Chains A and B, each alone.
Chain A
């Protein structure tokens, strides 16, 4: 049974750095066809892809947020960590991690429940 679960602070202050952890089970982060993405959704708005990481440590970031994002993984702990610097109230959103299956194909087949992060002083 594949599961992903996000954890991290529910409230951060402007200019602070956000650190979110995605703990996965039911599959290995060393699987060549699978990776983990972070995706966010501001209240009442659309999904926005942020970053992904694969078993070979291939990483990719949203062009608009690249300077603020860092994604990493600890395969032994089955965890993927996303950090976002210089948080702003517009970064208030539900943050999801999702499993990616790639090549052949490319899609997010399992999602975490999401964690709402509010940015406010």
Chain B
């Protein structure tokens, strides 16, 4: 159960779009359409932003979108806003367990 690989940091100016990658293997990301993304502000619990690769829970802004190609999943934030500055984690189902990503700090310049 090695952690999924994410870039340590991604930054963008307000209004821009950014994409965070999440790379795993054929045993996790590539093997199932069960990738989810979580946003975590400092001192807070993670919040579900995307589930099952590309689905948005009720109440999550449509500026957040997800996709997957092979062993790599991606989270795109369009129209970046100051409130999007946070840590983001991907997660994947893998053979009766779960693996999280290494986490990405998003900075709004």
Contact = CB atoms under 8 A, between A and B. Distances in A.
A96 B34 contact: no
Interface residues of A, number: 25
Interface of B: 1, 3, 32, 34, 36, 38, 45-48, 51-52, 55, 57, 89, 91, 93, 96-103
Given A49-B1, A108-B38, 7 more contacts: A46-B3, A52-B98, A60-B97, A105-B34, A107-B52, A112-B45, A113-B45
B51 A105 contact: yes
A36 to B, nearest CB: 12
A47 B36 CA distance: 13
Nearest to B32: A106
Interface in A55-72: 58, 60-64
Contacts of A58: 96
